Amino acid sequence: MLRQALAFGLLGGALFLMFHLTAEHLRARGIRTGFDFLWQPATTPVFDSPLSFQAGVDSFAKAFAAGALNSLKITAAAIVAATLFGLLVGLGRMSGNALARALCGGYVELMRNVPVLLHIFFWYGLVLELPAAADLAGVPGAIDGGRHWLLATNRGVHLAWFGVDDAGHWGWQWPRPDGLQISGGLSMTPEFLALFIGLSLYTAAFVAEIVRAAVEALPAGQWQAAAALGLRRHTVLARVILPQALRIGLPALTSEYLGLFKNSTLAVAIGYQDFMAVSNTMLTDTGQAVEVMAVVMAFYVLVSLLVSALMHAFERRSQRGWGRP
């Protein structure tokens, strides 16, 4: 980890020197440089962000922050989904059932051999083919009072959610058709949903192979000893096999999580305003190409280093835990 940090430090110093020399040459030719533009009002709105943003009022710095939260939101959601689904598929590839093994193996081969951008386009096209909100009046599947657990439209998917309503009361928030829109509940835009499904299913195939390889790397004596004690198979997996397999597969999982974070930049292809998409718009609005790209590089390097450090710390902690007698 120290060598990695040192390498990134040297790279950062070289990049800083390069940007500094470039800025000096630009200033010598009368081209404005510097980061003062960050505090000027941004002209392009940023949607679907946990951070409220108003175009023409909020600054470019806040637009950067809103885009960063969008990137981190989609990355965190996709990591959780890909890990859980990849674990199921990976265990399915080692199942005693021939059909389950064939289905899981076919899924892995199909997903890994199709570019992730095509996955995203495929799901985005499907979401846009869903019915409009105005066509959902009287849709079947409602529970008491016409409330629905889920409503899917070409404007996104809306789920029932336990939270606070407009009056400040806690309870279930139910999605319901409201003219041309859906009101209430937890909503996911078509762009977020397509990106989430595409990245999750694609990454899950690689996670499944990591799980399979890590489990098969363990000595067969682990299974035999557990079976000799009369433990059930699911107990052996949960208490004996998976904790040890985690130590083996953690470095590869870290690489996959970082790859998912970088793949999230493909959001620009379908109009989801992640950090990269916001940066591209900001570059066009301000003309500050060098400064904007410097911020973009710093963001992705810092997040990647932070994820690597957290996963490395978790790996060391798990190794110390298993090292105890």
pLDDT at 101 exceeding the cut of 80: yes
pLDDT at 325 exceeding the cut of 50: no
23 lies in some domain: yes
Give dist(CA 264, CA 202) in Å, integer.
Answer: 12
Q: What angle do CA 217, 223, 227 make, to 5 degrees?
A: 175
The predicted structure's pLDDT at residue 75: 94
* pLDDT tens-digit series, residues 106-119: 999 999 999 999 99
25 lies in some domain: yes
From the list 136, 74, 137, 131, the residue with the least C-alpha distance to 266 is: 74
pLDDT at 182 exceeding the cut of 80: no
Map residue 210 onto helix, strand or coil.
helix
* pLDDT tens-digit series, residues 147-172: 677 778 888 888 877 776 666 667 77
18 lies in some domain: yes
Residue 143: what are its φ and ψ, rounded to 5°?
A: -100, -165
From the list 84, 104, 81, 83, the residue with the least C-alpha distance to 92 is: 104
Place of tokens 């390889």: 213
Token output for 39: 């505090």
194 lies in some domain: no
The predicted structure's pLDDT at residue 167: 67
Mean pLDDT of the chain: 82
Percent of the chain with pLDDT over 70: 83
* Residue of higher predicted confidence among 222 and 126: 126
The predicted structure's pLDDT at residue 146: 57
From the list 201, 22, 184, the residue with the least C-alpha distance to 115 is: 201
Map residue 72 onto helix, strand or coil.
helix
Residues facing residue 153 across a β-bridge? 156
Residue 172: what are its φ and ψ, rounded to 5°?
A: -75, 130
Number of domains in the chain: 1
User: Binning pLDDT at 50, 70 and 90, where does residue 144 land?
Assistant: very low
The predicted structure's pLDDT at residue 120: 95
The predicted structure's pLDDT at residue 30: 62
pLDDT at 143 exceeding the cut of 50: no
* Residue of higher predicted confidence among 122 and 154: 122
13 lies in some domain: yes
Give dist(CA 274, CA 77) in Å, integer.
Answer: 14
pLDDT at 324 exceeding the cut of 50: no
* pLDDT tens-digit series, residues 29-54: 666 666 778 888 888 888 888 888 88
The predicted structure's pLDDT at residue 64: 92
- In this structure, are residues 119 and 205 in contact, taking their beta carbons and an 8 Å threshold? no
H/E/C letters for each residue in 1-26?
Answer: CHHHHHHHHHHHHHHHHHHHHHHHHH
Find the range with the poorest average confidence among 22-31, 241-250, 300-309.
22-31
pLDDT at 97 exceeding the cut of 60: yes
Residues contacting 221, CB < 8 A, separation 6+: none
Give dist(CA 139, CA 148) in Å, integer.
Answer: 9
Q: Going by DSSP bridges, is the β-strand pair 170-173/161-164 parallel, antiparallel, or unpaired?
A: antiparallel
317 lies in some domain: no
- The mean pLDDT value for 201-207 works out to 96
Give dist(CA 60, CA 284) in Å, integer.
Answer: 12
* Residue of higher predicted confidence among 243 and 77: 77
245 lies in some domain: no
Q: Show the domain range for 23.
A: 1-31
User: Binning pLDDT at 50, 70 and 90, where does residue 208 land?
Assistant: very high
The predicted structure's pLDDT at residue 31: 61
pLDDT at 286 exceeding the cut of 90: no
87 lies in some domain: no
Token output for 16: 């800083």
The predicted structure's pLDDT at residue 40: 86
Give dist(CA 31, CA 23) in Å, integer.
Answer: 9
